Structures are given as structure tokens and as C-alpha cells.
Chains A and B, each alone.
Chain A
């Protein structure tokens, strides 16, 4: 009789492996969401000069657990005029592609669910499927605010998929593979891809913020203008599933950035002790999760026309120029790293300094108005 790993019958092992993998992914997603909600509250509190949760457990650590139990215990409310099958299916349509994404994330040298040779394409595809769930949630709620949220979401997510994929293409052109493991293995040293292809990284970071509905691109669920958009009619754990899915997506895009541009599991001591790779990968991933929280605490929300204009007039042209330059340089030079880095850093500089330059009239007007306000306030406050 053939023996599989750990002396288990291969037939049983095939099924067992599936169960373990799915269980592990669910475990990671749920705990990641709990940890991220706690971190988000604490970090925003620190940035806004507050204390944040501190009553439940040491440092308020148990607050998210209490909230999760509260959400599960809530009554399952559904308004009568909602479109029942779609309303109930929408959270699952958002959640399951995110869960499936965890299959190809390379946690460590031997900790990969499946080393697909089209892993990056797989991740992009699943990322595009969540839009369907959000649009359906907005439609099925039978509520004008929700519908607006769904419409905004459709427009925004489809638009920002374009620069996102273009940014990924740049890295794939340079590395020459779509497999997450191959991409990680291509950058073992300190010379990680972000030093060579920073423009692709900046493009992807901005597009990923929009894809995950995070500030400053959280228009589909804008609380102040749309009463939380497509989430308006949801309550209890259905609402909770949307949020778990959102945090899971943040983890997935952070993991993609850590893998593609920051060397994934590579770090000191990984060759001697492969399990350290999981630690490095998690640290790098959470670095981006924290960056997302920092951005959320700092930036105001964009307007829908600014959002679309920025995508189609700034990000996509720059990403296309970047792809063209990358392809030409890879063909032209045997070792394209230095020219690629030069061109990419020039493009990053063009983005950072070009935006204030093209918006200089608006900035001047804005400054003048602020000065006016300050002057008026001084007049009012004068004795």
C-alpha cells in the first residue's frame, strides 16, 4: 500500500489536506480581521490623540472579541422589500473569492497552498470578482443610497483594476514569471524589486487602496454622504462578513506587495531556519496593513470625479509609459536593473512633483482662501 506524508493513506491525505488548507485559511482570515480591527482602533486613536479601547482585557485586547460575539448574537434583520436571494448571497460572493486568494500566497519556502504557474493572474481574477458581490449588495438592498454605493463601486473598482494590472505586468515583465514562488525566489538579496521598479509599486499601492475600498477611496461606503453605501441595509454578522472580507482583502493586497516588491519570505536567517520565512512574510505584510491604516487616519476622502480623473488621466498613462519603458529596457540591456531603476525613479518623481505643478492654480486659490479665512477669524477674535 502506498504511503503518503506522515504515514497517512494518500487517498485520505488528499481530502485531509483540503480540509486543513481551508480551515487554516479561515483561521488566518478571521484572526487577521480581529487583529487588524484592534490595530486599526489603537493606531487611529494614537494618531488622533485618543486612548482607544482599553476597558475589555489588557490594553483593550479583548474588545474586538466582544464585538464579534455581539455581532454574531445580533438578530438577523432583513428589510421586507430587499431582493431576498441576492441580499443573502452578496456577503458570500464578496467573502469567498478573498478566501480563495489565500491558496497561492507564499508564506514561506515550503508554506504555499498551491504553486500555480499563473498565481498572480489568479489573484487578480479573484480580486475582480468581489466587485460583483458589492454591486449585487447595492442593488438587492432596494435603497437609493445603497444603489449609489453599488454604482460608485462598479465604476471605481473597474477603473482601478486597469492600473493595478498594468503595475503587475511591469513586475512580471522584469521577473519573467507569474508564479508567486518564482517572483519571491527572484529577489533573494537586499536588492528587492521596489528599488528597481518603484513606479509600479506606487501605482499598485494607489490602485490597491481603491480596490479594497480604503480611504481615501472609500466612496462606495462613505458614511457621511451615503450612510455607508452598500452596507446601509446590512446588520449583524452579515455586515460583519463584509468587514471580515474587507480586512482579508487588505491582507491579500499587502501580501502581494510584500511578495512582488519586498522579497516575500526572504530575510536574515531563512536559509538556516525556513520557518523564519513565515515570520518575515507576516511582518512585511503587516507593514503594509499598518501603512493602509496610517493613510486612512491621515487623508480625507476624494470626490468621485477627482477619483476617476486621477485614475484615467494620471495613473493609467504613467503605468503605460512605465510598461513601454520596462519592455524596451529589458530588451535593450543584458542587465537592465540600473536603467530600469533610473527610469522608474524619474517617473515617481514626475508623479510626486508633477501633480502639484498641474494643480498649481487650484492650490494658489486654495491658499488665498485659507489666508482670507484666517484674516476673517482674526478680525472676529479681535477685542
Chain B
């Protein structure tokens, strides 16, 4: 009876991701761009939900919408605003951008059409336990490396902005 819901929400989230993504690139108002980026991230979280990966969806919202977008807005508020996008005026990036997009897009499209049977999520107990299991066994080393990298970045940021106190 409610079978139509899944394709419907898939369409809504796809439109959210693609439409908001296009707007992020095309718009000139930086706050609107930041918010639309948040919408893209939230739609991605919706995709994860459709795939039965609730934990990843929630982390997606928690980190990308709740923290990264806020930090970007935080940065935007500290910088001087101007309506004109004058910095981009003298740059001719269009051919390069088109070339790179093509290089990435063609394999992605071929890959997308190469999938034959979709794997339906089991839905029993969610993805929390398998996720934790693989994170702390198979991927423990990359996980630790990533945390050390983040710690180094944190310390570096503090060192960078620290003024001499005298």
C-alpha cells in the first residue's frame, strides 16, 4: 500500500541534493549558499535513511548540518560582505571545470548503470553494531590515523591564532 513512498522520497531527496548542489555553485549570496549546502547534506542523510543506515544518516546531520555548516556561517560572519562577486571576474575557469567534470562524470554514469541487483537492507537492529564492529576492528588503524590528524590540525589551528601575550 505504501510502496510508492520509497520512490517518492528518493525523488524528493535526489531533487534536494542535485537542485541545492546546483544552487550552491550558481548563487552569489554566500549565506544562501551555506544554507543550501546544509540542505544538500540533509538530503544525503535522507538517502542513507532510505538505505537503512540510520546511524550514518544521523552522524551526517550531526556533523555536516550541525557543525560544519555552522562553522562556515561563523567564518562568513567574520568576513566583509559585498554583493558583487568581483574576485571571480578575471578568472577563466570554465573550460577547466568542464573538463574535470567530464572526467569524473563519465565513469560515475557508467558505474551507475552497471548495477544489476540492488541489495535490500536487512533492517534488523539497524546498522549501529556492524558499523561499530568494522570501525574498531577492520578499520581501526585508519580511524586512529584520522583522529591523530584531526588532533594535529586542532593544535595547529590554536598555535596559528595564538598571539604573544605581553
Contacts and interface: CB of A to CB of B under 8 A. Distances in A.
A86 interface: yes
Interface stretch (A126-134, A197-205, A259-267, A317-325): A126-134
Nearest to B54: A118
Given A132-B38, A135-B73, A139-B31, A117 B66 contact: no
A91 interface: no
B100 to A, nearest CB: 31
Interface string B75-88: 01110000000000
Interface in B51-91: 54-55, 58-59, 61-62, 65-67, 69-71, 73-74, 76-78
Contact of A128 (B35, B62, B76): B62
A318 B49 CA distance: 35
A122 B58 contact: yes
A86 B2 contact: no
Q: Is the interface of A mostly helix, strand, loop or mixed?
A: helix
Contacts of A147: 77
B2 A83 contact: no
Contacts of A154: 70-71, 73-74
Given A131-B66, A135-B74, A178 B128 contact: yes
A132 B74 CA distance: 10
B69 A132 contact: yes
A150 B65 CA distance: 16
B126 A118 contact: yes
Given A135-B70, A151-B77, A158-B71, A125 B35 contact: no
B31 A83 contact: yes
B85 to A, nearest CB: 18
B128 A117 contact: yes
Interface residues of B, number: 26
A195 interface: no
Contacts of A161: 66-67
Contacts of B62: 121, 124-125, 128
Contact of A129 (B66, B76, B78, B128): B66
B126 A11 contact: no
Q: Is the interface of B mostly helix, strand, loop or mixed?
A: helix
A234 B94 CA distance: 43
A105 interface: no
A255 interface: no
Nearest to A128: B66
Contacts of B73: 132, 135-136, 139, 154
A116 interface: yes
A189 B1 CA distance: 44
Instruction: Pick from B55, B62, B66 the residue with the most CB of A within 10 Å.
Output: B66
Interface string A315-355: 00000000000000000000000000000000000000000
A86 B30 CA distance: 13
B82 to A, nearest CB: 15
B95 interface: no
B125 interface: yes
Contacts of B65: 128-129, 132
24 contacts: A11-B1, A14-B2, A86-B35, A117-B54, A117-B125, A118-B55, A118-B58, A125-B59, A125-B61, A128-B61, A128-B62, A128-B66, A129-B61, A131-B66, A132-B65, A132-B70, A136-B35, A139-B31, A139-B73, A150-B77, A154-B70, A154-B71, A157-B70, A178-B128
**10 nearest interchain CB pairs?**
A128-B66, A125-B62, A125-B58, A154-B74, A117-B126, A121-B58, A125-B61, A11-B1, A135-B73, A154-B70
Interface of A: 11, 14, 83, 86, 116-118, 121-122, 124-125, 128-129, 131-132, 135-136, 138-140, 147, 150-151, 154-155, 157-158, 161, 178
Given A11-B2, A151-B74, 20 more contacts: A83-B31, A86-B35, A118-B55, A118-B128, A121-B55, A125-B58, A125-B61, A125-B66, A128-B67, A131-B66, A131-B70, A132-B65, A132-B70, A132-B73, A135-B73, A135-B74, A136-B73, A139-B77, A150-B77, A151-B78
